[in-house]
Amino acid sequence: MPAPSPGYDPLRSTFAIWIETWLNEFGIPLKANLAGFNVIVPIIFTEQDFDMYILGWSLDLFPSSLRDFFHTEQAVPDGNNAGGYSNPEFDAAAEALLACETFEECGTIADELQMILSSELPYVVLFDTPMREAYWTEVVDYPWTSGLSGLQYAHQQCSLQSYVKIR
């Protein structure tokens, strides 16, 4: 099982060792192969030579990661769907995500995609490292106030400034 080394990601490294220990105790042979990020990525996404893996990620504000991580067209070498998940119903809803125009419409589609994923479990989220962010609510109004990875990556693929209202 490829997983981050303690020097790169101590939390995921620790989880990998725990999973290795517990599965071996149940009689399922597993070896955690701890390595740096640049070693793990080709094994997972290009070679796709694993039974399971542990890797972390950060998300942007737009839920495009749902499509990027799980659409059938991404289940190829160098695609983002290294686990090979494929579901035509999911793919159709994920295509609609590319055409939505409002937060409400995109949110409805994202909720539908997450319902499918929560019942089929192609990917198990181990944990999220919580973010604490502060802002002055009397001056700044965000369209949402919580999300995985917080607002720290909001600028990468979404112009957060266009959605924030200054009072």
Q: What is the pLDDT of residues 47-57, one digit of tens each?
A: 998 999 999 88
Cα angle for residues 12, 13, 17 (degrees, 5° grid): 115
Structural domain contains residue 81 = no
pLDDT at site 156: 53
Top pLDDT among 65 and 20 is at: 20
pLDDT tier for residue 124 given thresholds of 50, 70 and 90: confident
Count of domains for the chain: 1
The pTM score is 0.73
Distance CA 40, CA 64 (A): 23
Structural domain contains residue 73 = no
pLDDT at 153 over 70: no
Q: What are phi and psi of 11, to 5 degrees?
A: -70, -50
pLDDT at site 60: 66
pLDDT tier for residue 136 given thresholds of 50, 70 and 90: low
Residues 6+ apart with CB under 8 A from 98: 64, 67
The boundaries of the domain holding residue 13 are 1-56
Residue 37 region, left (φ>0) first, then alpha (ψ -120 to 50), else beta? alpha
pLDDT at site 166: 64
pLDDT at 113 over 60: yes
Structural domain contains residue 23 = yes
3-state secondary structure of 131: coil
Structural domain contains residue 13 = yes
Structural domain contains residue 127 = no
Structural domain contains residue 35 = yes
